[in-house]
């Protein structure tokens, strides 16, 4: 069974558009705490909800593409890393 790493999953699925927690599509919507807070994103479930139903410009990550365990690992990694 594959060990799930939030950092590894982030690098595989998110880093291309969110290098160092930034955002190459919409620079105003980074993964840094101040921008997440401004968007009402405060807990892992909020990030997962955004992954599942993103706004314009962001790829949708459904449960088949990024299962819940991996999505949660990514969300926890984001909240811990991009303070």
CB-based contact 14:61 (threshold 8 Å): no
Q: pLDDT (tens digit, 9 = 90+) per residue, 37-82?
A: 999 999 999 999 999 999 889 999 999 999 999 999 999 999 999 9
CB-based contact 1:65 (threshold 8 Å): no
Q: Which residue has the tokens 């982030």?
A: 10
The DSSP letter of residue 4 is P
For the chain, the domains span 6-81
Question: In 3-state terms, what secondary structure has residue 21?
Answer: helix
* CA proximity to 61, closest of 70, 73, 52, 50: 52
Task: Let me know if domain 6-81 sits in CATH 1.10.760.10.
Answer: yes
Q: pLDDT (tens digit, 9 = 90+) per residue, 1-14?
A: 668 999 999 999 99
């Amino acid at each position: 069974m594959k060990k799930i790493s939030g950092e590894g999953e982030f690098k595989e699925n998110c880093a291309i558009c969110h290098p160092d927690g930034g955002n190459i599509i919409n620079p105003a919507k980074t993964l840094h705490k101040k921008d997440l807070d401004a968007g009402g994103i405060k807990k892992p479930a909020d990030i997962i909800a955004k992954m599942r139903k993103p706004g314009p410009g962001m790829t949708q990550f459904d449960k088949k593409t990024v299962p819940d365990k991996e999505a949660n690992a990514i969300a926890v990694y984001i909240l811990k890393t991009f303070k």
